[in-house]
Amino acid sequence: MAKPDKPETDIVIVGAGIVGICAAAYLAETGRRVTVIDRTGVCEETSSGNAAALAFSDVLPLVQKGMLAQVPKWLMDPLGPLSIPPAYMPQLLPWLVRFWRAGFADRYEGGLAAQGALMGLAEAEWMALLERSGTRHMLNEHGALELYDSEAGFRNALPGWQAKERMGFAFEHIDKARLADYQPGLSDHFARGRYVAGWKNVSDPKLLGKALWRHAESKGADFVSGEVVLARPAHDRIAVQLRHGVTLLAQKLVIAAGAWSHRIARGFGDRVPLETERGYNTTLPADAFDVRMQLIFSEHGFVVTPLSTGLRVGGAVELAGLKRPPNFARSRAMLEKTKRFLPGLKTQGGREWMGYRPSLPDSLPVIARAKDAPHVVYAFGHGHLGLTQAAGTGRIVRDLVVGDTPAIDISPFRADRF
């Protein structure tokens, strides 16, 4: 573990995933002394293996994406898009009840508006941050193609897309005969598609995170390797204790520790129902198949993304907490489906991966001050949208820390909303 040169700093950020790194960049740009703590490194865990999408049009709550209707079918397949180990079900049940309630009609429009506001901010802030950090070349703007097995699947998704259209997101319906114009080499399996021109991807999420860290570092941010075991008020400071005995003092604390964040938040008076969606992927060599843009197989719960470092096949949801060992048979099942959908795909030489998505029942993150400690700011629970919303979250964190009015209404993201 690297021992900090300065045991006292202005701001400590717990978590060096993409949300924590964006917060560090925004705060370091203000001239504050920023120290980021992480047990493994910069964007080495969940932020390293995501699908690389800046999915600004992905505003629907997870419960509203037709998921509930497919849950019984999905749960019958242990390697399907959704898996819940039976032994974990009793622990998960309170979260599932809140998840179900998030789909009620009286909550839908409010959640949609909150997600839309955060997405609008995130898009503007990402474009500005990429320019400031010299990383604009790491952005791809090829759009995305969502594929449907049947006309029924296509129609079932229409209400959600109509809601997106009301919010200003553009898309184009694609007939079966035109699918090959967008992605040559597709199998004949798919009945319809939908092209989203404004969808963006980054060339590699891990490399982008490290490049953004270099920008933060150039503004004076420091990194400390270590695992936080305790964070507590200490007179007019926050004391952050690491497992090997080092304690840092800070005027402000930002908790951006992903799926582990709720454990630290308890110490500041907030019990947040954070659950872990374990996501799987396989990254194949770049020449595995000529994929032109991100392909979204929504009825199967996974995507295929062309990266500068390979071809990533991943997604699915396994609600199984933080302790169970990975089940990489899920990665291999997605790879077998992809081989059917993209005949000729070369599946050799892949790297399997599993990461922990920090998810809240209503699909909105927590971005707020702590209940019992106004000098503590939360920035976690983004689920599938951590990369997408990281720059917008970083902007809000900066506003909260320096005492500015946040750029959007953040009341929907408070920690005590449940």
Q: Residue 134: count other Cβ atoms within 10 Å of its Cβ.
A: 13
Same domain, 238 and 379: yes
- Residues 193 and 150: beta-carbon distance below 8 Å: no
What length is written for the chain?
418
The answer to whether residue 25 scores a pLDDT higher than 80 is yes
> For the chain, what is the mean pLDDT?
93
Share of the chain above pLDDT 70, in %: 94
What's the CA gap between 293 and 310, in Å, rounded?
A: 13
In this predicted model, what pLDDT tens digit does every residue of 239-271 receive, in sequence order? 999 998 899 999 999 999 999 999 999 999 999
Q: Which residues have CB under 8 Å from 148's CB, separation 6+?
A: 154, 157, 190, 191, 192, 193, 194, 298, 299
Residue 51 to residue 140: CA distance in whole angstroms? 13
Are residues 372 and 353 both part of a single domain?
no
End-to-end CA distance of the chain: 37
| Per-residue confidence band for 75, with pLDDT thresholds at 50, 70 and 90 | low
Are residues 324 and 288 part of one domain? Answer: yes
Which of 335, 416, 325 is closest to 371 using CA atoms?
416
320-326: average pLDDT: 93
250 CA to centre of own chain: 27
Is the predicted pLDDT of residue 73 greater than 90, yes or no?
Answer: no
Least-confidence region, from 64-73, 194-203, 332-341? 64-73
DSSP code per residue over 143-168:
-EEEEESSHHHHHHTHHHHHHHHHTT
Whether residues 15 and 87 share a domain: the answer is: no
417 and 396 together in one domain: yes
Same domain, 191 and 135: no
Per-residue pLDDT, 100 = 84
Q: Find the mean pLDDT for residues 204-209.
A: 98
Answer yes or no: do 245 and 216 share one domain. Answer: yes
Q: Of the candidates 111, 19, 53, which has an alpha carbon nearest to the alpha carbon of residue 281?
A: 53
Residue 317: pLDDT over 90: no
Q: Domain boundary residue among 309, 344, 359?
A: 359
On whether both 87 and 164 belong to a single domain, the answer is yes
What six digits make up the tokens of 238? 């926050």
Q: State yes or no: pLDDT of 3 exceeds 90.
A: no
Residues 209 and 190 in one domain: no
Query: Among 295, 343, 314, which Cα is nearest to 188's?
Result: 343
* 345-384: pLDDT as tens digits: 999 999 999 999 999 999 999 999 999 899 999 999 999 9
The boundaries of the domain holding residue 171 are 65-101+144-197+275-359
83-142 per-position pLDDT tens digit: 888 899 999 999 989 988 887 877 888 999 999 999 999 999 999 999 999 999 999 999
Dist CA 75 CA 71 (whole Å): 6
| Region of residue 383 (left: phi > 0; alpha: psi -120 to 50; beta: else) | left
> Residue 324 corresponds to which tokens in the numbers above?
């169970």
24 and 159 co-located in one domain: no
More confident residue, 176 or 316: 176
pLDDT at 1 over 50: no
279 shares its domain with 258: no
Q: What is the CATH number of the domain that holds 42?
A: 3.50.50.60
**Residue 292 has what pLDDT?**
97
